[in-house]
Amino acid sequence: MYQFSRSLYRALACDVTEEQGASRARLLRSCEAVVERLATDRHYFARPARTLFHDVRHLFPISSQHRVYRVIERHMALATEYVDQHARAGVTFDGSPLSCHATTRKGSACQRVPLPGSQYCPSHKHLEEGVDLDAAALVEAGDLRLEPHDLEDALDERYAATAA
């Protein structure tokens, strides 16, 4: 992730208003902080480009702020895709396996590996947002069957009815 923050810094450093080292150092710290948060907390960081631009826009003249935002947006899109690609592969950006997003009863983070395509491990899969709501709706409607293939068919029918 170091490469993303440094590339972003190099693209923006030439436009900093003040030639003092303090402004450039602040730009570098802001770039590194946003990229680090994107890498470690992707699920809860919805708009990294907006956050970074808000943090650094006062360092640039108004005439170049549109270009600065476009550069930030492009770099953050690439970094986001990189992090998401690794998450789909089941590893973090540094190659270590993903961990469950839930917390244990004692309040510590769950250390188990999540199920494929999910953010939660088998013990916490009930916390997944979409699955439980659909099952509850099926139970209320009386469409829930005990066989797994029937449940999948009922879910498909339910989605087809809501999509139409």
Residue 145's pLDDT is what? 46
Own/partner pairs for 84-88, CB < 8 Å, 24+ apart? 84/42, 87/42
Residue 93's pLDDT is what? 61
84 and 28 part of one domain: yes
Structural domain span for residue 61: 2-88
Residue 69's pLDDT is what? 95
The number of folded domains in the chain is 3
12 and 38 part of one domain: yes
Q: Find, among 4, 74, 71, the residue nearest to 37 by Cα.
A: 4
8 and 70 part of one domain: yes
Residue 132's pLDDT is what? 44
Q: Find, among 37, 33, 55, the residue nearest to 46 by Cα.
A: 37
Residue 104 has pLDDT above 60, yes or no: yes
Residue 137's pLDDT is what? 53
Could you tell me the pTM of the whole model? 0.60
54 and 101 part of one domain: no
Q: Which residue has the higher pLDDT, 77 or 164?
A: 77
Hey, which of 79-93, 103-117, 133-147 has the most confident mean pLDDT? 103-117
Residue 58 has pLDDT above 70, yes or no: yes
